[in-house]
């Protein structure tokens, strides 16, 4: 505990010294401010008494008399900002030295922490230094009424700002280029992740009209496109090194749901096409019957009507079946259905994996081995017969 006490004593002492330095600096600052305004004349609006800053500050272990007093104007030289910086540096140095010199064995941790804290404070000082030229520039300009006129003039304002910030077209272009490069870099790195989602969202939005029209497969399409985005982004986490059958099951289950959604969408599309064709055929049939009615004719027997029914429908579907579009749609439906079947088998296998039974894939391997062996044996038998002959 004594070490801790020493540390705080040292801390307080350092604080006293630091604030002493601050007080000294403030005094110098005030003096400087008194002589401020050498470039301009009197500025009555800024002058006047500034009471209330003086007075005792016991909590910091000393008095701070320096802030009271008159502040008649901003004329004179302006070393004040630099002085404040020096004050801070002096404070920091005093505290750091005191801590280093305390020799308190138990204070290492606190010291380190504080040192790091000071280092953090340095960052603020650096920031302050960064803005310092601007402050100075503003002071220099601000002291002159003409400067304010300049600020009202857009061209002058720009000129001043450019001077303050050092902006010029080239620098601005360079800065813009740097920003662009940065953004591009960020965009590129995030593109792989975001693009699939953006595309899926876009596709999803395009499907909205179909949803509104009541096409049930449109929901499946949205699910499929979103799953595609998931699969190529977040879903990749599932492709990480195997962590067991449970992970495989989850992934396969998700994938199975996806292929099922694809199948359902294709199936609806297919059924819709068949239905529309059937409807058109039925309309033709009705038209043919109506035509007969209009002519005052009648069907002699059921067979005559049945023939017409079969002929009209067969023709309608025959025309559909002969289109390449139908062949493609049928092929896509079949593939989707088979995909569901394959996934179902895989999923079943995964769930049966722990049971003492031969699985489909294992039997496939066995069949393959038997097939190859039989082929070899048959070949050898044939060769033997040839040799004997």
Partner 1 sequence: MKTPLEIFDVKSFLGEISEASTKFVKGAELFAGIDEIDVGTAPKELVYEEDKLKLYHYKPEGAVTCGVPVLIVYALVNRQYMLDIQPDRSMVRNLLQHGMDVYIVDWGYPTKADMYLGLDDYINGYMDNCVDHIRKSAGVEQVNLMGICQGGTFCGMYAALYPKKVKNLVTLVAPFDFSTNDGLLFAWAKHMNIDALVDAYRVVPGDFMNSGFLRLMPFTLNIRKYVDMLDVIEDREKLLNFLRMEKWIFDSPGQAGECLRQFIKDCYQGNKLVKGEMKIGDRVVNLKNITMPLLNIYASGDHLVPPAATKPLNDLVGSTDKSLYEFKGGHIGVFVGAKSQKELAPAISKWLHDRDKSKPAAKAAKAAKAKAPKAKVGKGRKQ
Instruction: Name the site residues for partner 1 (rule: CB under 8 A).
Output: 289, 292-293, 296-302, 305-306, 310, 313-314, 317-318, 321-322, 324, 327-328, 330-332, 334-335, 338-339, 341-342, 345, 363-364, 367-368, 370-372, 374-375, 378
Return the number of the residue (179 or 370) whose C-beta is nearest partner 1. Answer: 370
> Whole-number minimum distance, CB 224 to partner 1, in Å?
17
Calpha distance 121→127 (Å, rounded): 10
> Whole-number minimum distance, CB 306 to partner 1, in Å?
7
> Whole-number minimum distance, CB 244 to partner 1, in Å?
26
3-state secondary structure of 313: helix
> Whole-number minimum distance, CB 312 to partner 1, in Å?
9
Return the number of the residue (146 or 271) whose C-beta is nearest partner 1. Answer: 271
Return the number of the residue (149 or 368) whose C-beta is nearest partner 1. Answer: 368
* The two three-digit tokens of residue 140, written as one number: 């220099």
Tell me the β-bridge partners of 49: 70
H or E element, residue 56: strand 56-57
Return the number of the residue (234 or 334) whose C-beta is nearest partner 1. Answer: 334
> Whole-number minimum distance, CB 340 to partner 1, in Å?
9
CA atoms within 13 A on the CB side of 323: 11
Return the number of the residue (205 or 321) whose C-beta is nearest partner 1. Answer: 321
Q: Where are the alpha helices (DSSP H) in 143-244?
A: 145-152, 154-165, 169-213, 217-232
Return the number of the residue (129 or 297) whose C-beta is nearest partner 1. Answer: 297
* The two three-digit tokens of residue 11, written as one number: 């801390």
3-state secondary structure of 212: helix
> Whole-number minimum distance, CB 179 to partner 1, in Å?
49
For residue 143, how many other CB atoms are within 10 A of its CB? Answer: 22
> Whole-number minimum distance, CB 272 to partner 1, in Å?
17
Tell me the β-bridge partners of 70: 49
Return the number of the residue (112 or 362) whose C-beta is nearest partner 1. Answer: 362
> Whole-number minimum distance, CB 229 to partner 1, in Å?
24
Q: Give 43-50's long-range contacts (Cβ < 8 A, gap of 24+).
A: 43/73, 43/74, 43/75, 43/143, 46/73, 46/74, 47/71, 47/72, 47/73, 48/72
* The two three-digit tokens of residue 217, written as one number: 């497969």
Burial class (CB in 10 A: 0-12, 13-18, 19+), 101: exposed
Listed residue (334, 321, 316) closest to 267, CA to CA: 334
* The two three-digit tokens of residue 240, written as one number: 């990480």
> Whole-number minimum distance, CB 253 to partner 1, in Å?
19
Return the number of the residue (247 or 292) whose C-beta is nearest partner 1. Answer: 292
Q: Which residues contact 124 (CB under 8 A, 6 or more apart)?
A: none
Return the number of the residue (12 or 310) whose C-beta is nearest partner 1. Answer: 310
Cα 22 vs. chain centroid, distance in angstroms? 47
Calpha distance 120→114 (Å, rounded): 9
> Whole-number minimum distance, CB 372 to partner 1, in Å?
8
What is the C-alpha radius of gyration for the chain, rounded to an integer number of angstroms? 44
Return the number of the residue (158 or 371) whose C-beta is nearest partner 1. Answer: 371
Burial class (CB in 10 A: 0-12, 13-18, 19+), 229: buried
């Amino acid at each position: 505990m004594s070490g801790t006490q020493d540390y705080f004593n040292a801390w307080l002492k350092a604080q006293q010294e630091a604030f002493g330095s601050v007080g000294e600096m403030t005094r110098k600052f005030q003096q400087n401010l008194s002589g401020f305004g050498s470039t301009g004349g009197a500025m009555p609006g800024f002058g006047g008494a500034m009471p209330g800053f003086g007075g005792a500050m016991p909590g910091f272990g000393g008095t701070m008399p320096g802030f009271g007093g008159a502040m008649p104007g901003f004329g004179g030289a302006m070393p004040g900002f630099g002085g404040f910086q020096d004050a801070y540096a002096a404070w920091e140095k005093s505290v750091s030295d005191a801590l280093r010199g305390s020799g308190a064995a138990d204070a290492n941790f606190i010291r380190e922490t504080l040192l790091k804290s000071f280092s953090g404070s340095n960052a603020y000082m650096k920031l302050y230094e960064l803005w310092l030229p601007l402050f100075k520039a503003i002071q220099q300009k601000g002291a002159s009424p003409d400067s304010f006129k300049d600020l009202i003039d857009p061209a002058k304002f720009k000129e001043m700002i450019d001077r303050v910030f050092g902006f010029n077209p080239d620098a601005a272009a360079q800065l813009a280029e740097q920003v662009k490069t940065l953004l591009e870099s960020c965009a590129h790195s995030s593109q792989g992740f975001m693009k699939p989602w953006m595309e899926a969202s876009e596709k999803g939005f395009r499907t909205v009209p179909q949803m509104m029209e009541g096409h049930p497969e449109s929901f499946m399409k949205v699910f499929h496109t979103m799953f595609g985005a998931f699969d190529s982004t977040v879903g990749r986490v599932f492709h990480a090194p195997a962590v067991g059958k449970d992970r495989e099951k989850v992934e396969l289950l998700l994938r199975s749901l996806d292929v099922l959604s694809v199948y359902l969408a294709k199936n609806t599309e297919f059924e819709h096409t068949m239905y529309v064709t059937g409807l058109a055929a039925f309309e033709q049939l009705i038209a043919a019957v109506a035509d007969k009615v209009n002519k005052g004719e009648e069907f002699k027997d059921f067979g005559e009507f049945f023939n017409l029914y079969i002929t009209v429908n067969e023709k309608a579907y025959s025309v559909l079946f002969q289109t390449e579009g139908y062949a493609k749609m049928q092929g896509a439906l079949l593939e989707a259905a088979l995909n569901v079947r394959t996934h179902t088998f895989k999923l079943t296998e995964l769930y049966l994996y722990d049971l003492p039974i031969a699985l489909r894939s294992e039997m496939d391997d066995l069949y393959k081995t038997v097939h190859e062996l039989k082929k070899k044996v048959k070949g050898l038998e044939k060769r033997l017969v040839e040799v004997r002959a």
